[in-house]
């Protein structure tokens, strides 16, 4: 078997799991870079029987899968992967397997981004490195309103910590009920109230056809000019053009963004230069413990898949032998 580990930016995949435990001998290649263009991507992936993919970094669409005749298994990290066309894969006899997941890393990172925008930590650190000293006044979080768009596992975890900090937490999403919000100690508000009240707006929606471009110019126009956005979910949930215009025009104070519509973020993208934006390279889930879960589960999944294939092949041999004996 030829196995490829894709988009392993930190080059840790082989270190965090026991790949030698896989039965048989296999050729494993690790790719630490990312390819976006389809033709060079297909050329790279063409030889491999197994692709180990990290979240949605490399989409595997029907267009790509139909050009990978050797592919037999996609081992994806996380409970699901919206960038894999599972139906197209299975129609071609390609199995898709997923790993465990925990929200802890993203919850903690969201709070880190909240502190960073409130106290201007990256800008003040840059000032010190440039020979300067204090330049800005930070903001207390105690007493401020944290609006949460999407009160699921991550959103409710963020809410719990924010409440402990003395923040007033309100939430809204399409499927959220008042009862569910109250169970979390969170105020239930309308969509309009969420954007109007929030001093900090934290986004925790799953990306789907319904939520793509979900937050647009109308929503942003309702926000306070002193408000900040924190997005550790998915960049495409925002109308990116509208968000850039509001940030450039100072219509909102700033944003801490960990996810983007196009990743890696293009070199000339405005989010790389806007002074009121903290941009990080999709680090929300990037922690040693979660990566260890990802890669250990990936190895376990491949092992189960290989053993199942061997068992299936042995069964076919036995059936063939039985049929031959019966004819004789």
User: What tokens does 191 get?
Assistant: 């969509």
In terms of DSSP bridges, do strands 254-257 and 95-97 run parallel, antiparallel, or are they unpaired? unpaired
- Per the CB < 8 A criterion, the answer to whether 77 and 270 are in contact is no
If you ran DSSP here, which 8-state letter would residue 60 be given? B
Sign of CA dihedral 76, 286, 232, 170: positive
| Intra-chain end-to-end CA distance of the chain, in Å | 36
DSSP state string for 239-301: -HHHHHHHHHTTSS-EEEES--SSSSPPTT-GGGT-TTEEE-SS-TT--HHHHHHHHHHHHHH
Query: Quick one: which of 89, 107, 68, 81 has its CA closest to 7?
Result: 81
Summarize the confidence of residues 126-143 as an average pLDDT. Answer: 97
Mind listing the pLDDT tens digit for each residue in 214-243?
999 999 999 999 999 999 999 999 999 999
Range scoring the smallest mean pLDDT among 115-129, 136-150, 272-286, 306-320: 306-320
Residues recognised as catalytic:
234, 263, 282
Mind listing the pLDDT tens digit for each residue in 10-37?
999 999 999 999 999 999 999 999 999 9
What pLDDT is attached to residue 46?
A: 98
What pLDDT is attached to residue 317?
A: 46
Residues 6+ apart with CB under 8 A from 153: 103
Mind listing the pLDDT tens digit for each residue in 273-318?
999 999 999 999 999 999 999 999 999 999 999 999 876 654 554 5
Mind listing the pLDDT tens digit for each residue in 50-66?
999 999 999 999 999 99
Residue with tokens 């840059």, as numbered in its chain? 126
Provide φ and ψ at 147, rounded to 5°: -95, 135
- Domains in the chain (CATH in brackets) are 2-101+295-327 (3.40.50.720), 104-279 (3.40.50.720)
Q: Decide if pLDDT at 322 tops 90.
A: no
What pLDDT is attached to residue 309?
A: 86
Q: What percent of the chain has pLDDT over 90?
A: 92
What pLDDT is attached to residue 326?
A: 58
| Whole-angstrom Cα Rg for the chain | 24
- Per the CB < 8 A criterion, the answer to whether 252 and 225 are in contact is yes
Sheet of 187-188: strand order equals: 187-188, 168-172, 145-149, 200-203, 228-231, 254-257, 277-279
d(CA 324, CA 254): 74
d(CA 9, CA 54): 10
């Amino acid at each position: 078997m030829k196995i490829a580990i894709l988009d392993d930016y930190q080059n840790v995949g082989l270190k965090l799991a026991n790949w030698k435990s896989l039965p048989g001998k296999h050729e494993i290649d690790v790719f630490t870079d990312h390819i976006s263009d389809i033709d060079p991507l297909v050329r790279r992936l063409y030889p491999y029987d197994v692709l180990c993919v990290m979240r949605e970094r490399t989409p595997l669409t029907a267009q790509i899968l139909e050009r990978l005749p050797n592919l037999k298994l996609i081992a994806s990290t996380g409970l699901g992967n919206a960038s894999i066309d599972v139906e197209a894969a299975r129609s071609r006899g390609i199995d898709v397997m997923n790993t465990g997941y925990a929200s802890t890393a993203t919850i903690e990172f969201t709070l880190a981004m909240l502190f960073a925008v409130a106290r201007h930590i990256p800008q003040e650190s840059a000032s010190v490195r440039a020979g300067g000293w204090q330049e800005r006044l930070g903001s207390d979080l105690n007493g401020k309103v944290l609006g949460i768009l999407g009160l699921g596992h991550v959103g409710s975890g963020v809410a719990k910590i924010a409440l402990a900090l003395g923040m007033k937490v309100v939430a809204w999403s399409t499927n959220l009920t008042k009862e569910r919000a109250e169970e979390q100690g969170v105020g239930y508000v309308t969509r309009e109230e969420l954007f109007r009240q929030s001093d900090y707006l934290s986004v925790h929606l799953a990306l789907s056809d319904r939520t793509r471009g979900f937050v647009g110019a109308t929503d942003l126009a309702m926000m306070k000019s002193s408000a900040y956005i924190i997005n550790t979910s998915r960049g495409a949930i925002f109308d990116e053009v509208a968000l850039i215009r509001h940030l450039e025009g100072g219509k909102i104070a700033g944003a801490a963004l960990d996810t983007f519509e196009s990743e890696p973020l293009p070199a000339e993208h405005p989010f790389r230069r806007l002074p009121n934006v903290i941009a990080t390279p999709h680090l929300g889930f990037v922690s040693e413990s979660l990566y260890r879960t990802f890669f250990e589960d990936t190895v376990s999944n491949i092992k189960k898949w290989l053993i199942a294939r061997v068992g299936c092949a042995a069964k076919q041999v036995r059936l063939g032998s039985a049929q031959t004996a019966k004819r004789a």
